[in-house]
Amino acid sequence: MTGGRAFALDVLRQFGGLILYWITLLIFGVKPAIAVALAFVMVDGARRLMARQPLPPIWLIANGAAILFGLIDLYARTPFMIRYEGAIFNLGWAVAFAVGTFGKEPLVLQFARHRSPDIPDRPEIIRFFRAFTIAWSLFFVMRAVAFLWIMDGYPLARAIAIRAAFGWISMGVMVLISFNGRRVFELCQSLGFFTARQE
């Protein structure tokens, strides 16, 4: 399996419930979306437990958020969370990536090792991935602000469509940049950043 396919499969495994929830919500509504997300969490959670695999914090956050948002919308008189769940979730990820900046191994480096396990532990590379993790955190903050502006500026149906298009395009661009992390690192070094001389 290629690195890109392995990374995509890992994203689906981690965010599957949330991805299915959004897709089903847009097509069929809140109740089917909750049912699909809940079914994914139960099946994938059971699979992981039977295989004695841990439930990663990211998996718990992403899939738990899908169910939480859905239940709030289900029991509210009006589905107000549809307007704000995207912004709230992105702010949550901004915090997660900000926290993931610290520690021995930055969060983005952990993801990168899924594609390239042989990434060396050189100090300049660790600092680069810390900066990249901060960049992801800022990306989610800006995405949350954009989602709020979109959802408050248009009628609900149109806002959801615009948010979905903007969300997928912006995420695609950021993922594409991440896939080319080696080139970004080399560009930064050519500009004098993250070089071994700084150690």
Q: Which of 27-36, 133-142, 160-169 has the weakest average pLDDT?
A: 27-36
- Within 8 A by CB and 6+ apart from 57, the residues are none
At residue 162, the pLDDT reads 93
- pLDDT over 90 percentage in the chain: 24
- pLDDT(10) > 90: no
| Residues contacting 152, CB < 8 A, separation 6+ | 83
Range of lowest pLDDT (34-38, 81-85, 169-173, 193-197): 81-85
**Can you give the pLDDT at residue 57?**
66
pTM for this one? 0.70
What pLDDT shows up at residue 56?
Answer: 72
Say whether pLDDT at 33 is over 90: no
In this prediction, residue 103 carries a pLDDT of: 75
pLDDT, position 142: 97
Asked whether residue 29 carries a pLDDT value surpassing 90, the answer given is no
- Burial grade of 132 (CB within 10 A; 0-12, 13-18, 19 or more): buried
Report residue 199's pLDDT band, with 50, 70 and 90 as the boundaries: very low
pLDDT in tens, 127-156: 999 999 999 999 999 999 999 999 999 988
How distant, in Å, are the alpha carbons of 24, 163, 174 from that of 191? 45, 35, 21
Separation of CA 75 from chain center: 26
What is the average pLDDT value for the chain, to the nearest integer?
82
Which one is predicted more confidently, 5 or 189?
189
